[in-house]
């Protein structure tokens, strides 16, 4: 069902329903799982805050962000500025390394437009 409901054309058609793609019920399930300590969500991709590129779908991937004890990466700006993305939004690899916040916002805007835009080749290859 997700392969149909999360397609760029469907997201574009129903932009007025932002809660549809935010996985609010899954987030509630995660909170209940944490509270009751059932362990159901262990090992699964847990939906997070809204994607910072499309602002529609729940994020499942965090790019960047350094944790205590980790070595700094080759992208120093992203070490201290994690980016939350859904599985549909792809950052342009030619834009790396991200230099500053303004550059990051340009890359995120481009990725968001691409992930909710309609083209036949995306429709047939994503998913």
Evaluate if residue 11 carries a pLDDT over 80. no
> How many CB atoms sit inside 10 A of residue 72's CB?
9
Q: What is the dihedral of CA 20, 61, 110, 23, to 10 degrees?
A: 0
Closest CA to 63 of 91, 21, 95: 91
pLDDT in tens, 98-114: 888 898 899 998 988 88
pLDDT of residue 126: 44
Q: Provide DSSP, 7-44.
A: SHHHHHHTTT-GGGGTTHHHHHHHHHHHHHT--TTTTS
Q: CA 20, CA 31: separation in Å to the nearest integer?
A: 19
pLDDT of residue 73: 67
**What number is the average pLDDT over the span 84-104?**
84
């Amino acid at each position: 069902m997700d392969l149909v409901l999360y397609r760029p054309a469907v997201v574009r058609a129903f932009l007025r329903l932002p809660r549809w793609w935010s996985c609010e019920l899954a987030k509630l399930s995660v909170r209940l799982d944490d509270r009751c300590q059932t362990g159901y969500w262990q090992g699964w991709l847990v939906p997070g805050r809204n994607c910072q590129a499309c602002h529609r779908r729940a994020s499942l991937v965090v790019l960047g962000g350094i944790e205590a004890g980790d070595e700094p990466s080759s992208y120093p700006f992203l070490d201290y500025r994690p980016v939350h993305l859904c599985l549909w939004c792809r950052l342009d690899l030619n834009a790396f390394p991200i230099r500053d916040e303004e550059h990051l916002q340009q890359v995120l805007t481009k990725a968001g437009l691409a992930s909710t835009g309609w083209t036949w080749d995306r429709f047939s290859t994503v998913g």
